[in-house]
Structure 1
Amino acid sequence: MPTHRTDLLNIESQFSAEELQTRDRIAEFVDRRVRPHIAQWYDEAVLPLELLPEMAELGLFGMHLSGYGCAGRSAVEYGLAMQEMEAGDSGLRTVVSVQGSLAMSAIHKHGSQEQMQQWLPKMAAGEAIGCFALTEPSAGSDPSSMTTRARREGEEWVLNGQKRWIGLASEAQVAIVWAQVADEQAGKDVVRGFVVPTDTAGFTATPITGKLSMRASLQCDIELTDVRLPAEAILPENPGLRGPFSCLSEARYGIAWGAMGAARDAIESALDYSAERMQFGKPLAGYQLTQKKLVDMTLELNKGQLIALNLGRAKDAGTLENHMISVGKLNNCRAAIEICREARTVLGGNGITGDHPPLRHANNLESVRTYEGTDEVHTLILGHQLTGEPAFR
């Protein structure tokens, strides 16, 4: 029998023993360390930094990367881990994504051997935390319009600009900062990445407060004021937007799995509540309308899980195409947020409290649905794939 009641198709049977072992190891961590406290962390808007060393010990940081102390696990194993982390909370899954899929991937994909040797072992061990500074106050879905600039002065780079919604920035030891650089040969600006130690003069990260979503996480504004870096701070490989976009693809892949973890947790909460809550002389689970809600939610969950699994198998086989990731990000975030909202209705008024997870998951998914590409961006990526016509402008 499948581990989860929601697995109507016995999707679990398609995983290897090693994949299930990875899933169960992360699920045990979430059950033991996250679920008992997440309502309080969310209410108090606290990222539990004490969990980060434990997450590193589990091999979650750079889990899908090879070498340099990284775990080198498969894409499917990484996806299963992200599903379990987000079943706990989207904010904690985001920690893994920012550290591994964004900051570490940027160095792993685009860095020099020296940069990789300097940072990746420490980041995999949780001895150094990283952030990925791409989004700006006026440049979200259109990163080509970023205004952060890097100019060369002798043997140094000088960075100036602003970044916004940068996960972990105020706790990070290293930031991957993307900036416009004048390319004299091409006669235009090109986006380049820089490895920026956060103790460099002129680098300031300020946590964003007053969030109504992703409260048990940390996002920041960054100010870059004449930040001076050595010449070798630039990421040498893959200039242009394909540099950060390749990292975003890694993060989007993890989101396709993670969103289904939040959805599954919401459904299981609704199942438990409906079995115990008595109305008009019998449990809510005994009413046709309740069963319809539970069935409709679980069908969408299983569809999304199959999409995520298909992406993972393709990624491991080397056949994954970028538009396929957009299918997973768009469909699974959209489905997950509707599932969590519907699950809340099963819980009635009690569902708006922190005693139950569906509304917390739904609120978090408002952010997950937005970052790493909005619905609109992924719709246009898929529209371009279908028609051959780019319609982004």
Structure 2
Amino acid sequence: MRRNLFEADHESFREAVRAFFDREVVPHLADWEAAGIVARELFTTAGKAGFLGMAIPEELGGGGVDDFRFNMVIGEEATRAGAAAAGLGITLHNDVALPYFLRYCSEEQQRRWLPGIASGELITAIAMTEPGIGSDLASMSTTAIRDGEHYLVNGAKTFITNGINADLVITAVKTDPAQRHAGMSLLVIERGMPGFERGRNLDKLGQHAQDTAELSFTDVRVPVANLLGEEGQGFRQLVANLPQERVSIALSAVASAAVALEHTLTYVKERRAFGQPIGSFQNSRFVLAEIATEVDIAQTYVDRCVAELNAGELSAEDAAKAKWWCTELQGRVVDRCLQLHGGYGYMNEYPIAKAYADARITRIYGGTTEIMKEVVGRSLGL
């Protein structure tokens, strides 16, 4: 089905992004996957190309265009290139972390941080999850106790995307440990602050080129000037930004499903069994017909979500619907496509094998499928 979301500027941008991934990312993928981390130069190179901080004002080094369709193009093209894991750091930087800096920074904070975010010299991350609490953010134990013009931060975070590379970590803390949601605040903790340590780069099932880290804070003195917004507003700030994060995950999930379908169509047309292409068997045709239909339907819904996000009208429940449905679809599609590859699908040299491993986490991060259904269910008055 023809998409009508994009305009000429977006398609020109797509051509540039596609060339960037083919030139600057794909040749290094094997090395980055083996290392478990992309080179920091990926961010500065992306910054020079204009692919970071598109929504940052021009006078602060950004593109000056607040249009999530450009972000969408980057997410789709990273997946098309087979570099979704390597590109995840960029999409987290643009889609997840940047809105906090744009919406909640003071003018002084924006001048201090936004130029580096746009250039890629300051890599960002967001630290919410803690060992043992999963989705229950209100139970976090990381504290930030006021001490004059500083906060004294103690605690730990885990599963932090960009955790090794990050220079600026938006950290959810309890400034009032006696409170649950009302006690949460957001602090920007910077590389090099004494007491801020990075643990191991976690060994994951998939997405091997993406650094995912444990972080620890021991009496880290963070200036009050690094508080985002006001004390006690952290949970509201997180909730306000989650719809964009979830749509970002959903669009990448649909792109992954579409790429898996493309690879599989090529494979079943070439691979022969019993004297004919395996794609000519009725089962193959039916499976691929179902996949093609579901991918088109999901793409239409995600495109509508992006249009509503741009208009400032996307609801939390509609973003949750997109996130859980599209990531579950991704898992189903990649699994069924791998099955059509037979034994070759289990070999890492085939893109479908990596897609299978990379897909599993998307039903967990950004809010599990179960939490997404809870969001939707509550919106129904249940």
- Pair 1:10-2:14 in alignment: no
Matching residue of 2:115: 121
CA displacement 1:69-100 (0-9 Å, x = unmatched): 22225122322321222332332332123212
- Pair 1:61-2:73 in alignment: no
- Pair 1:370-2:364 in alignment: yes
Moved more, 223-232 or 82-91: 82-91
Structure 1 residue matching 2:324: 3-state secondary structure: helix
- Pick the aligned partner of 2:13 from 19, 22, 35: 22
Contact 2:5–2:303 under 8 Å retained in 1? no
CA displacement 1:281-306 (0-9 Å, x = unmatched): 12222222112222111111111111
Structure 1 residue 116 displacement after superposition? 1.1
- Pair 1:321-2:315 in alignment: yes
Matching residue of 1:195: 188
Matching residue of 2:219: 226
Contact 1:130–1:175 under 8 Å retained in 2? yes
Matching residue of 2:125: 131
Contact 2:71–2:94 under 8 Å retained in 1? no
Moved more, 41-50 or 90-99: 41-50
RMSD of aligned residue pairs (Cα, Å): 2.2
Contact 1:344–1:359 under 8 Å retained in 2? yes
Contact 2:174–2:183 under 8 Å retained in 1? yes
Alignment of 1:205-220 (within 5 A): 205-220=198-213
Structure 2 residue matching 1:359: 3-state secondary structure: helix
Matching residue of 2:86: 92
Q: 2-side partners of 1:244 and 1:317: how far apart?
A: 20
Matching residue of 1:144: 138
- Pair 1:385-2:376 in alignment: no
Contact 1:61–1:126 under 8 Å retained in 2? yes
1:312 aligned partner, one-letter code: V
Matching residue of 1:167: 161
CA displacement 1:76-129 (0-9 Å, x = unmatched): 232232122233233233212321223322221112111111111111110111
Matching residue of 2:348: 354
1:135 aligned partner, one-letter code: T
Contact 2:68–2:309 under 8 Å retained in 1? yes
Q: 2-side partners of 1:338 and 1:227: how far apart?
A: 44
Structure 1 residue 54 displacement after superposition? 2.7
Q: 2-side partners of 1:287 and 1:37: how far apart?
A: 38
Bigger relative contact order, structure 1 or 2 (CA pairs below 8 A, ≥6 apart) = 1
Q: 1-side partners of 2:367 and 2:34: how far apart?
A: 27
1:294 aligned partner, one-letter code: L
Matching residue of 1:51: 42
Matching residue of 1:254: 248
Structure 1 residue 64 displacement after superposition? 4.2
Q: Percent identity?
A: 26
**Structure 2: stretches of 5+ with no match in the other structure:** none
CA displacement 1:152-180 (0-9 Å, x = unmatched): 11222100000001111222222111100
**Structure 1: stretches of 5+ with no match in the other structure:** 1-8
Contact 2:163–2:213 under 8 Å retained in 1? yes
Q: 1-side partners of 2:295 and 2:233: how far apart?
A: 38
Contact 1:176–1:194 under 8 Å retained in 2? yes
Contact 1:256–1:333 under 8 Å retained in 2? yes
Q: 2-side partners of 1:297 and 1:144: how far apart?
A: 39
Structure 2 residue matching 1:177: 3-state secondary structure: strand
Q: 1-side partners of 2:177 and 2:27: how far apart?
A: 53
Contact 1:176–1:195 under 8 Å retained in 2? yes
Matching residue of 2:239: 245
